[in-house]
Amino acid sequence: MSDTPDSMMEAFESRLTTVYIGLVMACEHLPVPITLPTGVIHSHDLVETVRRVADIAEEQPMPEEQHAALYTGAIMWLAAADLFGILKRTDYVEARAAGGLGILLIAGESIAELGAWLLDNES
């Protein structure tokens, strides 16, 4: 990849936000809805919130495949957020930024699969 560090970090931050918004929407439609914070949120609070989603994913009354999608979406988002934090605190490493974007693709796909199931099973 030959993107500049600034453009990669902008893409990373944008994708991190987009995937979080998808998680917010999916959580609102869970069998037992979870309301996640939106708006301006401190990054530490955001990480703790998503960590809690991962911790309680199994408690949702839905099939195992959907538990796995929720859990995977949450933990992959957390992994990407960790990489983003490392990149902000240390020297830029393109492989870390690209890896973070790849992790967010996995998170986004998991959340999208869960969202499709939730829409198909709305009562």
Q: Per-residue confidence at 2, pLDDT binned at 50, 70, 90?
A: low
Q: What is the pTM of this model?
A: 0.93
Q: What is the pLDDT of residue 52?
A: 97
Task: Tokens 């609102």: give the residue.
Answer: 28
Q: Per-residue confidence at 64, pLDDT binned at 50, 70, 90?
A: very high
Give residue 123's Cα distance to chain centre: 26
Domains of the chain: 5-120 (1.20.120)
pLDDT at 32 over 70: yes
In the chain, the percentage of residues whose pLDDT exceeds 90 is 88
Q: What is the pLDDT of residues 39-56, one digit of tens each?
A: 877 888 899 999 999 999
DSSP state of 59: G
SS3 of the chain: the string is CCCCHHHHHHHHHHHHHHHHHHHHHHHHCCCCCCCCCCCCCCHHHHHHHHHHHHHHHHHCCCCHHHHHHHHHHHHHHHHHHHHHHHHHHCCCCHHHHHHHHHHHHHHHHHHHHHHHHHHHCCC
